[in-house]
Amino acid sequence: EQFVQNNLTEEVKNLLSALPKQNGWMISDHLYQYQNVWYPAIHLQALLSIQRNFQALDTDLVIATNPKCGTTWLKALAFAIVNRFRFDNPSSKQDHPLLTNNPHILVPFLENFYMIDQHPDLTCLSVNAAARLLSTHIPQAALPDSIKNSKCKLVYLCRDPKDTLVSFWHFSNKMRPKNMAHSSIEEVFEKFCEGAVEFGPFWEHVLGYWKMSLESPERVCFLKYEEMKKEPKTHLIKLAKFLGSQFSVDEENDGVPEEILKLCSFGNLSNLEVNKTGKMPIAGYELSVYFRRGEVGDHLNHLTPEMIERIDKITEEKFLDSGLKF
């Protein structure tokens, strides 16, 4: 909290003082509502800098998600796809970067560059890569014009809100400072339904990218976690094609898609030393927080039938006429 306070500009401090605020979930920080979306202060500062200063390239590939929708998995898959010619047999090569680096290091969040630096050096993203691979939690409506007006491609991954909120509940409790009490599932459920979680409301976030994917399918690939779990190969092939790295017939015959899926599987990634014992540079939290169960339907173990009914009703109402379902 002190670190955040020390690094906020006067402009952002003034802005924050005029915004609605709520208690935050992870650090003893707050969430601020800006243009109908709830952000932690430092993320709002990053957003404003990104909107002003980020220059998208037509070749950029951007992964966009609501938190806890499977970002880590998608980052690993996208990285393995676009870099596969550097490592011709992805899972047998001992030097594959995914074996020794967490996916969040290989595919960083755009926001992290801009939290305290208004003009960060992004050259590290271009080293050894044909395209810059980035990620963001920024909602579609708040994307900088530079992204909206460029030809860069976006991949959006969403997930059943019930599993997302259960995942968020576990994650946020792990990320809370030791001196803060754990939040209850009831508390998180209420706030999630109200939309008062990082980058929330959840449903508007999904709808923004869903609409963009319908209007510009060549720019936005819209994926669902549940469908990827059910038919991983089909979706991997679709993803590779969208990213401009289509698998050749030979590659498919040689089982390259299967190798990539194995490399990026929950079982493989979560058992790597780096992800079991490693820590996030600078922030210092354990990288194991990104791996819990990696399954569909865990909400059945945590939400009551009444909660499920209530949230399903919200989803149905919000997605009415959109063509989206969970």
How many residues are listed for the chain in this entry? 326
Query: Any contact of residue 195 with ligand A3P (CB under 6 A)?
Result: no
Q: Which is nearer to ligand A3P, 69 or 80 (CB)?
A: 69
Q: Which of 96, 137, 235, 299 is catalytic?
A: 137
Active-site residue, 137 included? yes
Stretch of residues binding ligand A3P (CB under 6 A), selected from 1-9, 146-154, 247-255, 292-300: 292-300
Measured from the CB atom, the residue of 12 and 157 that comes closer to ligand A3P is 157
String of contacts with ligand A3P for each residue 259-288, x by CB under 6 A: -----xxx--x-------------------
- Provide DSSP, 176-236: S-TTSPPPPHHHHHHHHHHT-STT--HHHHHHHHHHHHHH-TTTEEEEEHHHHHHSHHHHH
Nearest 10 degrees: CA dihedral of 59, 225, 196, 309? 150
Tell me how far, at minimum, the Cβ of 45 lies from ligand A3P, in Å: 22
Which of residues 170 and 211 has its CB atom nearest to ligand A3P in the complex?
170
8 Å CB contact between 110 and 54? yes
> At its nearest, how many Å lie between ligand A3P and the CB of residue 149?
27
From the list 69, 142, 197, 263, which residue makes contact with ligand A3P (rule: CB under 6 A)?
69
- Asked if 290 touches ligand A3P (CB under 6 A), the answer is yes
Interface with ligand A3P, residue 136, by CB under 6 A:
no
Q: Are 115 and 42 a contacting pair, CB within 8 Å? A: yes
Tokens of 102: 């967490």
CB-wise, 143 or 264, nearer to ligand A3P? Answer: 264
Tell me the CA distances in angstroms from 119 to 50, 60, 67, 110, 116, one per residue in order. 9, 18, 25, 12, 9
The residue within the footprint of ligand A3P, chosen from 86, 93, 170, 310 (CB under 6 A), is 170
Q: Compute φ and ψ for 46, nearest 5 degrees.
A: -60, -45
Between 167 and 213, name the residue whose CB sits nearer to ligand A3P.
Answer: 167
Q: How far is residue 197's CA from residue 178's CA, in Å, rounded to a whole number? A: 20
Q: Strand, helix or coil at 38? A: strand
68 lies in the binding site for ligand A3P (CB under 6 A): yes
Residue 59 or 171: which CB sits closer to ligand A3P? 171
Is residue 219 involved in binding ligand A3P (CB under 6 A)? no
Pairing mode of beta strands 30-34, 21-23: antiparallel
What minimum distance in Å lies between the beta carbon of 238 and ligand A3P?
17
Q: How far is the CB of 65 from ligand A3P (least distance, A)?
A: 6
Instruction: Report the b/e string of 5-33 with b at 16+ CB within 10 A.
Output: eeebeeebeebbeebeeeebbbbebbbbb
Give catalytic residues, as residue numbers: 137
Residues in the site for ligand A3P, rule: CB under 6 A?
Answer: 65, 67-73, 163, 167, 170, 264-266, 269, 290-294, 298
